[in-house]
Amino acid sequence: MALKAVVFDVGETLVDETGMWERAAERAGVPRFTLMGVLGGLAARGEHHNLAWDILGVEHPASSWDGADFYEDALPCLGDLRRRGLTVGAVGNTPAETEELLREHVDVVGSSARWGVEKPDPAFFERIAREVAAPPAEIAYVGDRVDNDIGSALAAGMLAVHVRRGPWGHLHEPPPGALRIRSLDELPGALGV
């Protein structure tokens, strides 16, 4: 079967989360380095990043990405894949407002808040297939986390592409059957499109 769609996890795949976490640290009144250290520890132990706020004893502040947070290779890759005739999507365990940041750059957007389901739940990946109107075998899913992204995409029957960046991307080793790239510049070649 030919590849029809490429769907990206948002955080640390398309968007560098550093700025978001720095803004969150400022809003919560904790040093940036402290928050980053706690996040790194959680990533290394395979625990959910939202536990950082409990560990630090502060309320979870509202924070989000902005247009300046895209990785340098993200928007050119999205445009390149769309010009090649592929349906391109961006999804994540995010608030619904995140979709607006992405909408002009992709064909399909999705958020756990709007869909009512979070990765790694198989229903999240079933929803991706419905949204892009393609069977899982014709979808490549690109993400940084093996636990939330890569393993679940493989289990759903998708081609899984692990991008090695961000804390989880550097700490996680992809399972057999997944492709691995270091930059989205490598993605079209890795997919053979």
Q: Which CATH architecture has domain 5-16+69-191?
A: 3-Layer(aba) Sandwich (3.40)
| Other residues' Cβ atoms within 10 Å of the Cβ of residue 62 | 10
Q: Which of 71, 42, 74 is nearest to 55 (CA)?
A: 42
Domain boundaries, the chain: 5-16+69-191, 18-56
pLDDT in tens, the chain (193 residues): 699 999 999 988 999 988 888 999 999 999 999 999 998 898 888 888 889 999 999 998 877 788 889 999 999 999 999 999 999 999 999 889 889 999 999 999 999 999 999 999 999 999 999 999 999 999 999 999 999 999 999 999 999 999 999 888 888 899 999 999 999 999 999 999 9
Cα separation, 50 vs 93, in Å, equals 12
Q: Which amino acid is at 30?
A: V
Closest by Cα among 122, 121, 159 to 141? 159
Point out which residues pair with 35 in neighbouring strands. none
Angle (nearest 5°) at CA 98 between 133 and 59? 135
Per DSSP, the three-state class of 29 is coil
Distance CA 86, CA 115 (A): 23
| Buried-exposed string 148-183: b where 16+ CB fall within 10 A, e elsewhere | bbbbbbbebebbbbbbbbbbbbebbebeeebbebee
Q: Is the pTM of this model over 0.75?
A: yes
